[in-house]
Amino acid sequence: MTNAGFGPDLVEVFGPSQSAGGPELVQLLTPEGERVHHNQFDKDFTAEELRGFYRDMILTRRIDTEATALQRHGELGIWAQLLGQEAAQIGCGRALRHQDYVFPTYREHGVAYCKGVDPLKLLGLFRGVDHGSWDPADNNFGLYTIVIGAQALHATGYAMGVQRDGAVGTGDPERDTAVVAHFGDGASSQGDVNEAFIFAASYNAPVVFFCQNNQWAISEPIERQSRIPLYQRALGFGFPGVRVDGNDVLATYAVTQAALQRARDGQGPTLVEAYTYRMGAHTTTDDPTRYRLNDDVENWKLKDPIARLEVYLRRNGLVDDEFIAEVKAEADELGHHLREGCKALPDPQPMDMFDHVYEEEPQELREQREGFAAYLESFEGAH
Amino acid sequence: MSKITLAKGLNMGLRKAMEDDPKVLVMGEDVGKLGGVFRITDGLQKDFGEDRVIDSPLAESGIVGTAIGMCLRGYRPVVEIQFDGFVYPAYDQIVCQVAKMHYRSKGRYKIPMVIRIPFGGGIGAVEHHSESPEAQFAHTPGLKVVACSNPIDGYWMIQQAIASDDPVIFLEPKRQYHADKAELDEDATPDPLFSSRVVRQGTDATVLAYGPTVKTALSAAEAAATEGRSLEVIDLRTLSPLDMDPVYDSVRRTGRVVVTHEAHVNLGLGSELAARITENCFYSMEAPVLRVGGMDTPYPASRIEEDYLPDLDRVLDAVDRAFDY
C-alpha cells in the first residue's frame, strides 16, 4: 500500500504487533508487578483498596471458571468467557458509584459483580431459564444485550435522560450520575456504536464508552475492525479517548474514574479503550486454536492481571499467605454457590412464555394463552 | 369546535400530551425548528424547548436506540421517522430492542415509546418515500401497530398511543395530512385506541381498510351505492392487535369481504385477515376473502404510482368478483 503523500503509513502508526499497546498506553502497574507513574492519571491506592482489587479479580475469575465448567458439564447451554479481562472489568466496576448506570454487553460478569448482582443470576440467560433475572433497578446494572453494540445507544439515551433530570454538574456526589456503555472491539464496527458516539457528542451526554479491546471479535482480529488505535476514533467524534492497559487494574480504575467524573461534572462523553486480551474463547462454542497463534496467547499470559498485582502486593508486604488463603476460601465458597445454585435454578414453565410480552395484554394473545393452556391440560391424566 | 386537518389534529394531540405529562418528549430529524418535514411538530419546540423537542442527528437507529434509553430513565419519547422507507436503518432497534425489552426483563423495563411513521404513497415522491411497512411490525410480538385515517382519529389516537405503556408504531397516511378537514370536538369521548370501527354501514359486502385506503374504500362504497350495491366499510385502525369482532359481525351479515391496503399483497395484512375470517366465518361466506393491494414489486416510479396503488375501480372490481362466486 502506498500513501501517495497523505501522511504516514497507517500500519506504521498502528503497528504490526499490538501486544504492547503502544506508547500511549496508560499504565500504573507493569506486567512484572512494578508500580510506575503516569503524568495524567496517577493515583495513590490504600493497601485495603489494593487487596480489594485482588480479591475482586480472584472472585471474578472464579465466576468465569465455574461457569465454564458448568457449561462443560451440560448445565449451561453456552458461556461467554472473560478470562484475562478481570482487571478491565474490576477497574471499571469499582470506579462506579451506586447511582451510575451500566449498560453491559454479555461478558460483563465482573462489572455485574461490582454492582452487587448475585453472579448466580448471570447464569440464567446462559442456562436458558430466562433472559436475565436481575432487576436492573436494584443495582443500576442493565440486562445483558446480545445484539452487538445496540446498548451503546440505550446508554446514550439514558444519559440524555440523566441530563434532563438535572443529575449532572450539580457538585453533589450523591446526585451527579454517569452512564457506562460496555462493548468490545468488534462492536466498534457497528453503526449503533458510531451513532451513539455522534449522539453523545452532539448532546454532551454523561456517558463513558468503555471498550474492552480484547483483540478478537470471535475470529476477526482487531486489524479487521480498525486501521487506527480504537481510542483515537473518539477524536473524530469530538470527545476524548484514552487507551489504558486493561490488564492493569490500577490504571483502569484511575482512567475510568476520571472519565466517570468528567461525565458526572457535565463535561460529556469519553471513550476508554481498555487494551486487553481474551485468553479464552469467544464463547464456549468457539475454538480459538483455529484462528490465532499459541505464541500470542503465551505472550499475553505474561501480562496476566492477577499475577502482576499479586507480585506487587507480596513484594511490598501488603498481603500474606493467610490473606491469599482467605480469598481462595471465599472463591471456593462462591464456586459452590454457583454450582449448587445453577442446578437449582427453576426451569420456566411452558405457560411462562406468554408473560410480559406486553404491559397491557391484547385479547388475541390472551386467547392464544388460554387456548394453549387448555391444550396442555388435555394431556393431564393421559399417561 | 373547529375544523382541522389530519396534520393539525396530530399537532394538537402531541401538544396536549406534552402539556399533560412533562415526561413526554418528541425526538427526530427536523422536528424542532422546522416543525418536521410535514409540519406535524410545528411550534412544539418553541413552546416546550429544545430539551423536550429534540432535533436529532440524521441517524434513525440512533433516534430509536437513544429513545429506548430515555424510556429506561422514565421518559415517554415520541419518535418521528421522517418517511416510511427510512425506518429500516432503525429496524434492528425496533424489532430486537423496543419490542423485546419488556419481555426479556419480565416487565421491569417499560418502553412507552411511540414511533410515528408517515406512510404510504400518492404524493409523487422519489423512492423510499411511499412505502407501507406495517406487516413487518405487525409480525413482531411486543409491538403494537395502529394507523389513523382522519383528523379526529389523529388527534385522539396520538394521545392514546402516548399514554399506552406499550411501544406503539403509529402510522400516519401522509397523503391525508393536508387533504380533508373535519370538526373536532375536544370534549368527546374517543373510541379505545385498539379498536376497529364501522365507518359506513352496508349489507352486501364488507370492505376492510386502514390509513390511506379508508378514503378509497369509502369512495368505492359511494360509487357502489349508485349502482344499487350496499358496501359496509370498516376502518381497522389497529393492525396489531387486530380488533376482529366488528369484522366478524359484519362478515356474518354480508358474506363477502374485500381487504384493501397499499402494502404488497403477498404476506400483507390482508393475508392474516383472510385467514382469520376463514377460520371464524367459514359458514357465513358466499365468496373467498379477496385482497386489493399494492403490487408485489418495489414501489414504482411515481409517474405510475396510481397504477400501483389500490383505487376505487380496483376495489369495485374485487367486489364484483366476490359476487361472481
Tell me if chain A has a CB within 8 Å of the CB of B166: yes
Instruction: Give me the total of CB pairs closer than 8 Å, taking one residue from chain A and one from chain B.
Output: 137
Which helix or strand (DSSP H or E) is residue A110 part of?
helix A109-114
Which A residues, 140 through 179, put their C-beta within 8 Å of a C-beta on chain B? 142-143, 145, 147, 150, 152-165
Residue A174 is predicted with a pLDDT of 97
**What is the model's pLDDT at position A76?**
97
CA–CA separation, B23 and A119 (whole Å): 34
Mean pLDDT of chain B: 97
Chain A residues within an 8 Å CB radius of B57: 195, 198-199, 202
In this model, does residue B133 exceed pLDDT 90?
yes
Instruction: Name which of B106, B144, B241 is nearest A356 (Cβ-Cβ).
Output: B106
DSSP H or E run through A179:
strand A179-184
Asked if the model's pLDDT at residue A15 lies above 80, the reply is no
**Distance of alpha carbon B158 from alpha carbon A329, whole angstroms:** 59
Tens of pLDDT, residues B271-320: 999 999 999 999 999 999 999 999 999 999 999 999 999 999 999 999 99
Rounded Cα distance, A279 and A86, in Å = 11
Partner-chain residue, chosen from B73, B141, B166, that has the shortest CB–CB distance to A158: B73
Q: At what angle do helices A249-264 and A86-94 cross, to 10 degrees?
A: 40
Chain B CB within 8 Å of residue A348 CB: no
B164 interaction partners in chain A (CB closer than 8 Å)? 359-360
Query: What does the pLDDT read at residue B112?
Result: 98
Q: Do B96 and A359 touch (CB under 8 A)?
A: no
Q: What is the pLDDT of residue A36?
A: 97
CA distance A129 to chain B (A): 11
Pull the grid cell for residue B100.
Answer: 423485546
Which residues in chain A are contacts of B102 at CB distance < 8 A? 356-359
Contact A202, A195 (CB under 8 A): no
Return the residue of B nearest to A356 by Cα: B103
B97 near A CB under 8 A: yes
Q: Which of residues 73-92 of B touch A (CB under 8 A)?
A: 73-75, 89, 92
Interface contact A326, partner B, CB < 8 A: no
B92 contacts A364? CB cut-off 8 A: no
- Nearest chain B residue to A160 by CA distance is B70
Chain A environment of B69 (Cβ under 8 Å): 103, 153-161
pLDDT computed for residue A1 by the predictor: 42
Whether B75 sits inside 8 A of A358 (CB atoms) is no
Report the distance separating Cα A96 and Cα A117, nearest Å. Answer: 14
Q: Considering only CB atoms, which chain A residues are within 8 Å of B96?
A: 147, 150
Task: Kindly determine whether residue A161 and residue B166, on different chains, have CB atoms separated by under 8 Å.
Answer: no
Cell (9 digits) for B166: 406499550
Residues of B with Cβ-Cβ distance to A359 under 8 angstroms: 102, 107, 110, 112, 164-166
CB of A346 within 8 Å of a chain B CB? The answer is no
> Mean pLDDT score of chain A, rounded to an integer?
94
Residue A228 pLDDT: 95
Tell me: the pLDDT tens digits for B254-264? 999 999 999 99
pLDDT at residue A20, as a whole number: 81
Would you call B126 exposed, middle or buried from its count of C-beta atoms within 10 A (0-12, 13-18, 19+)?
exposed
pLDDT at A3: 47
Summarize the confidence of residues B60-76 as an average pLDDT.
Answer: 98
Residue A4: is its pLDDT beyond 70? no
pTM of the model: 0.95
Q: Which of B66, B68, B196, B279 to mutate to test the interface with A (most CBs of A within 10 A)?
A: B66
Q: Do A192 and B65 touch (CB under 8 A)?
A: yes
Q: Quick one: pLDDT band at residue B202, thresholds 50, 70, 90?
A: very high
Name chain A contacts of B165, Cβ cutoff 8 Å. Answer: 359-360
Residues A275-284 have pLDDT tens digits of: 999 999 999 9
Q: Which residue is it, cell 472491539?
A: A185
If one counts every other C-beta atom within 10 angstroms of the C-beta of residue B151, the result is 25
Whether residues B70 and A364 touch (CB distance < 8 A) is answered with no
For helices A191-203 and A150-164, what crossing angle results, to 10°?
A: 20
Give percent above pLDDT 90 in chain A.
Answer: 92
**Residue B303 contacts A where some CB pair is shorter than 8 Å:** no
| Pick from B61, B73, B242: CB nearest A191 | B61
Degrees, nearest 5: CA angle A221-A224-A228: 105
**How many other CB atoms are found less than 10 A from the CB of residue A358?**
21
Which residue is closest to B145 within chain A, CA to CA? A362
Residue B129 catalytic? yes
Residue A191 has pLDDT above 60, yes or no: yes
Catalytic residues of A: 278, 282, 291
Cβ within 8 Å, pair B69-A357: no
Query: Which amino acid makes up residue A237?
Result: F
Please give, one letter per residue, the 3-state secondary structure of chain B: CEEECHHHHHHHHHHHHHHHCCCEEEEECCCCCCCCCCCCCCCHHHHHCCCCEEECCCCHHHHHHHHHHHHHCCCEEEEECCCHHHCHHHHHHHHHHHCCHHHHCCCCCCCCCEEEEEECCCCCCCCCCCCCCHHHHHCCCCCEEEECCCHHHHHHHHHHHHHCCCCEEEEEEHHHCCCCCEEECCCCCCCCCCCCEEEECCCCEEEEECCCHHHHHHHHHHHHHHCCCCEEEEECCEEECECCHHHHHHHHHHCCEEEEEEEECCCCHHHHHHHHHHHHHHHHCCCCCEEEEECCCCCCCHHHHHHHCCCHHHHHHHHHHHHHC
Residue B212 is predicted with a pLDDT of 98
- For A132, which of B65, B70, B105 is closest by C-beta distance? B105
What is the reported pLDDT for B2?
Answer: 84
Judge whether residue A2 has pLDDT over 80: no
For residue A150, pLDDT beyond 50: yes
Burial of B247 (C-beta count, 10 Å sphere; 0-12/13-18/19+): buried
Using a CB-CB distance cutoff of 8 angstroms, which residues of chain A are in contact with residue B194? 362
Residue-level pLDDT at B170: 98
Distance CA B114, CA B144 (A): 10
Nearest CB to B61 within list A195, A363, A364 = A195
Interface check for B96 against chain A (CB to CB < 8 A): the answer is yes
Q: Quick check: A142 and B72 CB within 8 A?
A: yes
With an 8 Å Cβ cutoff, are A192 and B62 in contact?
yes
Nearest CA in chain A to B165: A359
Confidence of residue A381 (pLDDT cuts 50, 70, 90): confident
Q: How confident is the model at residue A34 (pLDDT cuts 50, 70, 90)?
A: very high
What are the pLDDT digits (tens) for A53-97?
Answer: 999 999 999 999 999 999 999 999 999 999 999 999 999 999 999
φ, ψ for residue A356 (rounded to 5)? 70, 20
Query: What is the C-alpha separation between A301 and A40, in angstroms, rounded?
Result: 28
pLDDT value of position A17: 46
Look at residue A382 in the predicted model and tell me its pLDDT.
66
Q: How many residues does chain B have?
A: 325
Residue B323: Cβ within 10 Å count: 13
Helices (H) and strands (E) counted in chain A, each on its own, are 14, 7
pLDDT per position as a tens digit, A320-379? 999 999 999 999 999 999 999 999 999 999 999 999 999 999 999 999 999 999 999 999
* pLDDT above 60 (res A7): no
The partner residue sitting opposite B69, judged by closest CB among A147, A154, A198, is A154
pLDDT at B268: 97
C-alpha cell at A190: 457497528
Which residue type does B64 have?
V
Q: How far is B25 from chain A (nearest CA, A)?
A: 10
Round to whole Å and give the CA distance between B196 and B146: 10
Choose, from B129, B178, B261, B264, the residue flagged as catalytic.
B129
